Amino acid sequence: MKKILKIVLMQPNFQLLGKRSWKLIPYGLCLLKSCCNDEFDVTVYDPNFDNESVDEIKRYLLKLKPDVVGLTSFSTEYIDEIYYHVRFIKEIMPNVKIVLGGVLPTVWIEKVIECKDIDYFVLGEGEITFKKLLQGIATSNDRIIEKIMGVSFHKNNHNIINERPNFIDNLDAIPFPDYSDLDFNKYGNYKHKFSHTLISRKTPYALSVTSRGCPMQCTFCAASTVSGKKVRLRSAKNVLDEIELLRNIYGIKEIIFLDDHFLFDRQRAFDIMHGIMERYPDMTWKCVNVAVFSLDRALLSKMMESGCNQITLSIESGDSDVLKHLIKKPVNLVKAKQIAHMAKGMGFEVISNFVIGTPGETWVQIRNTIKYAEELNIDMCNFHIATPLPKTELMKICIDHGLLKSEEDVAGYTVGAINTPDFTGLELQILRAFEWDRINFITLNKVHKIAKLQGIKEDEVNEWRKQTRRNLGNTHLTMKK
């Protein structure tokens, strides 16, 4: 007899151990609810938004008495937070089944499967796999569970890691996220700080993912491991229908696309923008990341005309040899500079991301990146220290060359973990913090602009700069919200 399971899909409170966290609606969990709600009693729970205490989380779970708690993880940075939640959930509900999905098990299953308090792990996309797992749990049929691709678990003191299934090709077949358990307007009207990509010009805003996968092979990035090398696209009609639903139910006035490669299909991008202009002429939108090599004047003009107000260019390096041989990203630096100047002249807010400290990079090449960023003369430049992540080429290079002993040696996302004959991690932190300060705040006008971009007041800008210099850019120390 199949049991109707009670499921809690939970975004952990990533702030419990003192780290930074973003107050974002749990988009992926709401997708899972839509996929599973026809067979199971599914509730989405987000203690992260209101920074709920351990006691508050315990009380909520004890009140609902779920059969299964599904935890999401969107970064390897929060592995300790995941373990912390698992421990206290099992303390109060020893018989509950805990399932971990998201980035952590997808890129680092051999590490997280060591946690015996987690019953099941879902690798890769969960819309189909998680539902199959719930069906197996509901029928108490271990044989079914053992055969599900993308599910890992413990059996007889052994770790069983099943092969991942193929990626979902037809993204239009996935239902839209179900936000009914959440106060959508609380998220849509939230004023983020220190994160220009998430600060909307209009509220309420919504998030959307219109494609999955990235064909680029950047050495520092795990996107192809998480979502595949092939770009899979939702149709323009499907995207516009989601926007219409969000407009009708929640009255959204802006949408932020979280895609790795929103502009991959040029015609689709034009169709989406034309639809926004035709249906919602008062609406604004933006992408968290834009491939600079996809842009030209025609595309920028249509983006501006359809309500896009900001572009973030991931140029990554100001040295062509580093781009070609070390980062492996096909960026033409001459064209990138032209695009940045063109966009700024058209009225876009223009931001760019750069990565310094890739093994093999010389100090001169790092300085070339700083010089190039300064010459761009855009609204803001962000500098990131190359951070080796599990299942990236950068991690393999670091281990193969003895720069790191294992995947567990990375200290954090804003701390230099690599020392080479050309630089130390400390040197990178010092350079990053002080050049970020010098380039971005060189005039009072730029100070005003960045205050607007980051959703903060000018006195907060001054304190942010001071703490960034003194803590050498460690965001856990400088960006307490």
The CATH number given to whatever domain includes residue 456 is 3.80.30.20
* 170 found inside a domain: no
Is there a cis peptide before residue 94, judged by omega within 30 degrees of 0?
no
User: In this predicted model, what pLDDT tens digit does every residue of 354-407 receive, in sequence order?
Assistant: 999 999 999 999 999 999 999 999 999 999 999 998 989 999 999 999 999 888
* Whether residue 353 is found in the same domain as residue 395: yes
* 29 found inside a domain: yes
Q: CA 175 to CA 418: how far, in whole Å?
A: 43
b/e code 449-464 from CB counts within 10 Å (16+ = b): bbbebbbbeeeebeeb
pLDDT value, residue 412:
64
pLDDT value, residue 195:
87
DSSP code, position 327 = I
On the 0-12 / 13-18 / 19+ scale of CB atoms within 10 A, 40 is buried
pLDDT value, residue 371:
98
* Whether residue 362 is found in the same domain as residue 230: yes
pLDDT above 80: residue 480: no
Centroid of chain to Cα 439: 26
Please state whether 473 falls in left (phi above 0), alpha (psi between -120 and 50) or beta.
left
pLDDT value, residue 415:
82
* Whether residue 46 is found in the same domain as residue 194: no
* 461 found inside a domain: yes
Integer-rounded Cα radius of gyration of the chain: 23
User: In this predicted model, what pLDDT tens digit does every residue of 241-265 receive, in sequence order?
Assistant: 999 999 999 999 999 999 999 999 9
* Whether residue 474 is found in the same domain as residue 338: yes
Nearest of 70, 62, 218, 191 to residue 130 by alpha carbon: 70
* 176 found inside a domain: no
* Whether residue 216 is found in the same domain as residue 318: yes
pLDDT value, residue 414:
74
Q: CA 99 to CA 7: how far, in whole Å?
A: 10
* 175 found inside a domain: no
The residue-averaged pLDDT of 18-38 equals 94
Segments forming the whole domain that contains residue 247: 183-478
Q: CA 85 to CA 26: how far, in whole Å?
A: 17
* Whether residue 51 is found in the same domain as residue 108: yes
| Domain CATH for 125 | 3.40.50.280
* Whether residue 141 is found in the same domain as residue 218: no
pLDDT value, residue 293:
93
* Whether residue 350 is found in the same domain as residue 309: yes
> Domain ends where: 127, 161, 195?
161
